[in-house]
Amino acid sequence: MVILSSARVLHDGDSCGEFIIMQTSWKFVSLLALLTSGIFGEARALSLEEAMNRAEAAPEVVAARAGEAASQALLRAAGQLPDPRLVLSVDDLAIEGDTRYRLRDSKRMIGLMQDIPAAKKREAERQQAEAGLAADGRMREFTRLAARQEAALAWIQLYFLTQKQSLLEKSAAELRLRQRAATAALAGGDGADDALESLLDQQMQDDAFDMLNRDLRQARARLKRVVQMESLEATGDLPAWLKHPATPESAFDAAAGLSVSQARVGMAEAELAMARADRDSDWAVELGVGQDAMGNAMMMAKVNFSLPVFAGSRQNPRIAAARKKLEQSEAEHQTRRAEFQRQCEEWRAEEAALTLRLQRLNQETLPLLTRKIALAEAAFSGGRGSAAALILAREKHLNTRIQAIDLEAERAAVRANLHFLFAERVTK
How many angstroms separate the CA atoms of 91 and 72, rounded?
46
Give kind and range of the element (H or E) at residue 232. strand 232-234
The end-to-end CA distance of the chain, in Å, is 63
The pLDDT score that the predictor gives to residue 246 is: 60
Is there a contact between 152 and 56 (Cβ–Cβ < 8 Å)?
Answer: no
Distance of CA 73 to the CA centre of its chain: 28
Residue 135 clears pLDDT 90, i.e. is over it: yes
Give kind and range of the element (H or E) at residue 314. none
The DSSP annotation for 99-141 comes to TTT-GGGSEEEEEEEEEE--HHHHHHHHHHHHHHHHHHHHHHH
Please, which residues bridge with residue 416 across strands?
none
Distance of CA 251 to the CA centre of its chain: 22
How many angstroms separate the CA atoms of 168 and 215, rounded?
14
**Span 155-204, pLDDT tens digits:** 999 999 999 999 989 888 887 877 777 776 666 656 566 666 777 778 88
Of the two residues 13 and 128, the one the predictor is more confident about is: 128
- The full set of domain ranges for the chain reads 2-75+151-278+314-422
Residue 318 clears pLDDT 90, i.e. is over it: yes
Residue 16 clears pLDDT 60, i.e. is over it: no
Judged by DSSP in three states, 285 sits in strand
Please state which CATH number belongs to domain 2-75+151-278+314-422.
1.20.1600.10
**Span 266-302, pLDDT tens digits:** 999 999 999 999 999 999 999 999 888 787 888 989 9
Q: What is the pTM of this model?
A: 0.77
Is there a contact between 145 and 373 (Cβ–Cβ < 8 Å)?
Answer: no
How many angstroms separate the CA atoms of 50 and 112, rounded?
60
**Span 180-191, pLDDT tens digits:** 777 766 666 565
Rg (CA), the chain: 38
Instruction: Tell me the pLDDT of the chain averaged across its residues.
Output: 82
Of the two residues 208 and 38, the one the predictor is more confident about is: 208
How many angstroms separate the CA atoms of 109 and 299, rounded?
8
